[in-house]
Amino acid sequence: MAEQVAGHFESLPRQAHAARLGMWIFLGTEVLLFAGLFVLYAAYRTEHPHGFAVGVENNTVVWGSVNTGVLLVSSYTIALAVHELRRGKQRACALLVATTIFLGMCFLAIKTGEYLEHFRVGLYPGGVGTFYRDHGEAGTKMFFTLYFCMTGLHAIHVVVGTAVLAFLLTKVLRRQISERAPHPLAIGAIYWHLVDVIWIFLWPLFYLIPGGNP
Partner 1 sequence: MTTIDAGVVPVPRELAPRRETYLNVAHTVKSWALTTDHKRIGVLYLVTTVLMLALGGSFALLLRTHLLTPAGALMDSYAYNRTFTMHGIVMVWLFMIPSIPAAFGNFLLPIMIGAKDVAFPRLNLLSYYIYLVGALWVIIALWMGGCDTGWTFYTPYSAHSPSAVVPTVFGIFILGWSTIATGVNFIVTVHTMRARGVTWFRMPLFVWAIYGTSVIQTLATPVLAISLCIVGIDNWFDWGLFDPARGGDPVLYQHLFWFYSHPAVYIMILPAMGVFSEVVPTFSHKNPASYNAIAYSTLGIAFVGFATWGHHMFVAGMSLFDAAAFGVLSMLVAIFSAIKVFTWVLTMRRGSVVIRTPMIYFLAFLFLFVFGGMTGVATATESLDVHWHDTYFVVAHFHFIMVGGTLTAWLAALHYWFPKITGRMYSERWGTVAATLVFAGFFITFFPQFLLGNGGMPRRYATYASAYQPLHVISTVGSWILGASMLMTLGYLLVALFTGERAGNNPWDSRSYEWYTPSPPPKHNFEKEPRFELDPYDYTVPAERMHG
Interface residues with partner 1 (CB under 8 A) are 6-9, 14, 17-18, 21-22, 25-26, 28-30, 32-37, 39-40, 43-44, 47-48, 51, 125-127, 137-143, 145-146, 149
Judge residue 98's burial from the number of C-beta atoms within 10 Å of its C-beta, 0-12 exposed, 13-18 middle, 19 or more buried.
Answer: middle
**Least Å from the CB of residue 138 to partner 1:** 4
* Cβ 93 to partner 1 shortest distance, Å: 25
Rounded distance, CA 187 to CA 190, Å? 5
Kindly provide the residue ranges of all beta strands, DSSP E only, lying in the chain, ordered along the sequence.
none
Smallest distance, partner 1 to C-beta of residue 125, A: 5
Name the residue nearer to partner 1 (CB basis): 45 or 111: 45
**What is the Cα–Cα distance from 197 to 40, expressed in whole angstroms?**
19
The CA distances from residue 117 to 51, 78, 138, 157, in Å, are 21, 30, 22, 22
Taking the least distance from each CB to partner 1, the nearer of 34 and 63 is 34
Tell the smallest beta-carbon distance from residue 4 to partner 1 (Å): 15
Query: What angle is formed at CA 184 by the lines to CA 106 and CA 176, rounded to 5 degrees?
Result: 100
In the bound state with partner 1, the residue whose beta carbon lies nearer, of 14 and 175, is 14
Smaller CB separation from partner 1, 44 or 203: 44
The one-letter amino acid code at 206 reads F
